[in-house]
Amino acid sequence: NAGVMQNPRHLVRRRGQEARLRCSPMKGHSHVYWYRQLPEEGLKFMVYLQKENIIDESGMPKERFSAEFPKEGPSILRIQQVVRGDSAAYFCASSRLGLGEKLFFGSGTQLSVL
Amino acid sequence: DAKTTQPNSMESNEEEPVHLPCNHSTISGTDYIHWYRQLPSQGPEYVIHGLTSNVNNRMASLAIAEDRKSSTLILHRATLRDAAVYYCILRDAGGTSYGKLTFGQGTILTVHP
């Protein structure tokens, strides 16, 4: 049973470009979470999604960031017009149920903005 | 989620036990104590969790104080692969829990050969 798969593992973008980060949850998991880890900082919650629904996006920056988890396919975290401050490791996690379940994390996508 | 306090770093020798402390004096009655660890260049990994009683699994043991204001993660025989940042996190068992974890700075564990 494959774990949480994130791709790409590393992503380089120039300022102003768009970044698309993908996350395939574990088989049977319908809850997806995105976290961001800025350099020398801790992990911060960004958004919680179930299939086709955004449940909690309280940690998402108000502009340029969006997330989706369609009925078919992986969850996507999209960052438009990237800036240098977006450089970070982005982790996706999934769980089978929403409440109290342990989370399974992917290996992350390291975004570097030049 | 309530706040936890952990030492910034700890060191251990290989094959020796490691006790990682966590203070959570403002814990509420419905808060579970969760531990995750993050190896270099990896995502966090679940280690163990508990509510009131001590817990054991194949990775570690969790000792919870009687007043629940502190807990200790115990690695019985540290290996080099246990070198990681260890996070102690409180999760409300109520309806708002889901997966919104609040990570602190954690404890950086260094294991010496």
Convert the pLDDT of each residue in B27-62 to its tens digit: 988 889 999 999 999 999 999 999 999 999 999 999
Please say whether the beta carbons of B109 and B46 come within 8 A: no
- Determine contact: B68 vs chain A, CB below 8 A: no
Looking at the predicted structure, is the pLDDT value of residue B97 above 70?
Answer: no
Interface test with B, best of A53, A60, A99 (most B CBs within 10 A): A99
Residue type at position A23: C
Take residue B91 and report the two structure tokens written for it. 């999760």
Q: Taking CB atoms and an 8 Å cutoff, what residues of chain B touch A55? A: 98
CB contact under 8 A, A48 and B99: yes
* Cis before A8? omega within 30: yes
pLDDT tens, position by position, A60-110: 999 999 999 999 999 999 999 999 999 999 999 999 876 667 899 999 999
pLDDT tens, position by position, A20-49: 999 999 998 989 999 999 988 889 999 999
User: CB-based contacts of A73: which residues, under 8 Å, 6+ apart?
Assistant: none
Q: How far apart (Å, rounded) are the C-alpha atoms in residues B95 and B97? A: 6
Confidence of residue B91 (pLDDT cuts 50, 70, 90): confident
- Determine contact: A9 vs chain B, CB below 8 A: no
pLDDT recorded at residue A102: 87
Please tell me the distance in Å from B103's CA to the nearest CA on chain A. Answer: 6
- Work out the percent of chain A whose per-residue pLDDT is above 90: 81
Mean pLDDT of chain A: 93
CB contact under 8 A, B103 and A42: yes
Residue type at position B81: R
DSSP string, B34-99: EEEEE-TTS-EEEEEEESSS-EE-SS-EEEE-TTSSEEEEEESS--GGG-EEEEEEEEE-STT-TT
Take residue B67 and report the two structure tokens written for it. 């007043």
Take residue B94 and report the two structure tokens written for it. 């109520």
Closest Cα partner for B73 from B65, B62, B81, B83?
B62
CB contact under 8 A, B100 and A48: yes
Helix (H, G, I), strand (E, B) or coil at B101: coil
Please tell me the distance in Å from A31's CA to the nearest CA on chain B. Answer: 9
